[in-house]
Amino acid sequence: MKTINVAQITFFTKKTFVTCDRKCNKAWGINSRPKEMLSDHEDDFYYLSDAELGDAPINPGTYECDEAKPLSPDEFPNKWCVRECERCSMSSYDDPNTPLPPKTFDDRVYNLGGRKGVTI
């Protein structure tokens, strides 16, 4: 069984759950994760899979307020995890009591629906 982090937080005044796969070494941040463009449309791209990338930088240069990427999954959750980490999932406001599984990058993740593979 895979170990994940689950925490209940208040996000914009609402209670919600966030989950993490504890793979900080593979977390680039949603604004830094390497991607490949598929057309001239700025939103038509896919994120590379974990297998296509090495480990992410310890400090990818992105911050949320004054909080950087955690050095260890035991520091979960901080603001970077919740707002910048591409692997973190947040439960829906419609069903805030049901934690979602963390996002996975086992395969390429396509930004637009209708493309082959997983979409975010």
Tell me which residue range forms the domain holding 87: 1-120
State the average pLDDT over residues 75-95.
Answer: 90
Q: Name the pTM for this structure.
A: 0.83
Confidence class for position 29, pLDDT limits 50, 70, 90: very high
Q: What is the pLDDT of residue 120?
A: 55
90-102 pLDDT, tens per residue?
987 777 678 888 8
Q: How many domains does one find in the chain?
A: 1
The answer to which of 45-49, 76-80, 115-119 has the lowest mean pLDDT is 115-119
Whether the Cβ atoms of residue 52 and residue 117 lie closer than 8 Å to each other: no
Averaged confidence pLDDT in the chain: 89
One DSSP character per residue, 16-62 reads EEEEE-S-GGG---TTTS-EEE-SSSTT-EEEPPGGGS-PPPSS-S-
User: CA neighbours within 13 Å on the CB side: how many for 27?
Assistant: 29
